[in-house]
Structure 1
Amino acid sequence: MYSSLVRLQNTFSFFTTVAFVVAAFIAASDLLAPRTPTVSLLKTTNLQVVRGRPHYYSSKKEEYAIIKFSLEADFSSLFTWNTKQLFVYVTAEWPSAGGTGSGRNATNQAVIWDTIITAPSADHLANIGPVAMKKLKRSAQGKSIDPSRGKLSLKNQRPKYQITHPSGKVAEQEDVVLRLHYNVQPWVGVLTWNQDEEFWKWKPLRGSLSKKFSLPALKKKDEGKKEGSRV
């Protein structure tokens, strides 16, 4: 009854119980820290639609939208001592043809840009170069959280991803908007995404939606050459 194996099992069980309770308290501590993310600017600066092939061996061409944008946002309040990293991304959204509010595919959504902002305690996990790593360590030296973490200021930012549609056509698409999203990844606890409603000290993200715009018509490369030859 009191063999070494039984004692080892009891010790391990007690240790896991204590670890679980401590982890629960750490995760619950996030609720005590106010979250007040703000977006002061989100707008498009340049729109272009081009034709291209989805891969090298494809003979069929598709239309791709290239959306440049400017962004001013402050996510610094999302960084606490339990924050591992913050995932921020921008999507382009537009209604489907004939889609309804209750339809399954009522809205098309595609990511055009994303970034990962690590906390000082997780900088070693960031896939960055040695020079940028030295700057991060220097900025966070002697501080639990660097005040500049989470502040984004992008001007005429090029998209990381060109977007298209299963139909292969996106030119002259109307009612397109840009939307900013975030995902907080803690060291201990559950992942939390952008909020739509206020929850105690956590405020919803305001200003995360841009004004509606329309994608331009397909740019034809041969038009300028033809006009020049006629003259």
Structure 2
Amino acid sequence: MNSLQNRANAVMAFSISAIFCLLGAIALSAFIIPTSPNGLVAVNSIKVVTGRYDKTWFDYKTRDNQFANTVMQIDADLSSLFHWNTKQLFIYAVAEYSTPTHSKNQIVLWDSIIKRKSDAVIRKKGIKNKYSVIDVNKKWTDIHANVSLHWNIVPYVGFMTYGHSQASEPYAFPLPSGIQT
């Protein structure tokens, strides 16, 4: 009747189907777990400097590019985002602003990976921007940016979910020293 190969095939097919159903239930259950994360990013200072971006980049050969250097403070409690299906959190501070030529601009100022729930309460001061802050227009004239904390939940099984904190009050980018309006 049934050979050993047919029986092994039936057992394996049933096992794989049962595992996929279990993984699907795990992935869906992560959406019903209540979370209440909160985070605040405050910009303590913004300094705009003028200079050359890099000698090797052909777009930035002029010396009149403006770069922003920020010092921030982050106060966040993201421990509620950790549950049994959370592998890690990817968090990042984003400055969002608009210019006459581009209606929505976003720049990542700082990022970090959190792998444990005990590290999910963040109280840091004096954080400098990790990445270069340069605008497409190469000038920071009349720019007001809102800064917020964003996070991505990386699960063991399922879909990556996203979230963000409430945006801060707009911060104005000052003129570089030595430039008159």
Partner of 2:158: 189
C-alpha separation between the residues in 2 aligned to 1:3 and 1:53?
75
Deviates further, 1-10 or 83-92: 1-10
- Aligned residues of 2:41 and 2:93 also touching (Cα < 8 A): no
Name the TM-score, length of structure 1 as normaliser. Answer: 0.68
- Aligned residues of 2:85 and 2:157 also touching (Cα < 8 A): yes
C-alpha separation between the residues in 1 aligned to 2:147 and 2:32?
31
Question: What percent identity do the matched residue pairs reach?
Answer: 30
Partner of 1:87: 90
Larger RCO (CA within 8 A; separation ≥ 6): 1
C-alpha separation between the residues in 1 aligned to 2:130 and 2:113?
13
2:114 counterpart SS class: strand
C-alpha separation between the residues in 2 aligned to 1:15 and 1:44?
54
Partner of 1:150: 120
Alignment of 1:25-174 (within 5 A): 25-39=25-39, 41-58=40-57, 59-61=61-63, 62-97=65-100, 105-119=102-116, 146=117, 148-170=118-140, 172-174=141-143
1:214 and 2:172 correspond: yes
Give the structure with the higher percent strand: 2
Using the TM superposition, give the Cα deviation of residue 70 of structure 1 relative to its aligned residue in structure 2, in angstroms: 0.9
C-alpha separation between the residues in 1 aligned to 2:56 and 2:38?
44
C-alpha separation between the residues in 1 aligned to 2:8 and 2:149?
50
C-alpha separation between the residues in 1 aligned to 2:142 and 2:47?
12
Name the TM-score, length of structure 2 as normaliser. Answer: 0.85
Using the TM superposition, give the Cα deviation of residue 158 of structure 1 relative to its aligned residue in structure 2, in angstroms: 0.9
1:156 counterpart SS class: strand
Using the TM superposition, give the Cα deviation of residue 52 of structure 1 relative to its aligned residue in structure 2, in angstroms: 3.2
